[in-house]
Amino acid sequence: MNTMASSLDSASWRRAAAPIVTGGILAGAIDLTFAFTYHGLHGIPPIRILQSIASGLLGMAAFDQAFPAALVGFVAHFVILIVAAAMYYAASRRLRVLTQHAYLFGMAFGVAIYCTMNFIVLPLSAAPHFKSSLPQIASDFSVHVLLLGPAIALAVRYFDRRALR
């Protein structure tokens, strides 16, 4: 019986891994593409963006060693969004409306991601406080609401529908 329980746990994990990893990687790629493009137009190279992300963990030391810190920032960025996708997936197991109206609830989730990162995670992190312009804030918020949250929600819905076939 114990073997049966661990098989079910393993099967459940395999079923959950695809939407969680896909949603997290998709959202992470969209977010980095936006950040690299937006800040690149203002003369900031991608490695500096990744160092800025790493500074949440490493503080100002992230700007001392370019490539190791950039790697930390890259990995941390995707881990954060995979965790966000896991949270949406877990909620969708209890609230089917999250997959039935994935884009709408994905937009709301995008607001939650944005607010969590900007009002809880960043203030509590070791990252320096960068000044943001109103266009930057509006662009970042829009990307979270229109793309990141929905990407996660739609990935969860996609794999949910595939499982039903």
Q: What does the domain layout of the chain look like in residue ranges? A: 19-164
Q: Exposure of 120 by Cβ count < 10 A (0-12 exposed, 13-18 middle, 19+ buried)?
A: exposed
139-159: per-residue pLDDT in tens? 999 999 999 999 999 999 999
Burial class of 12 by CB neighbour count within 10 A (0 to 12, 13 to 18, 19+): exposed
Mean pLDDT over residues 25-50, rounded?
Answer: 97
Higher pLDDT, 33 or 130: 33
Q: What is the mean pLDDT of the chain?
A: 92
Q: Are 39 and 152 in contact (CB under 8 A)?
A: no
pLDDT for res 3: 47
Residue 72 near residue 57, CB atoms below 8 Å: yes
pLDDT digits (tens, 9 = 90+) for 73-83: 999 999 999 99
**pTM here?**
0.90
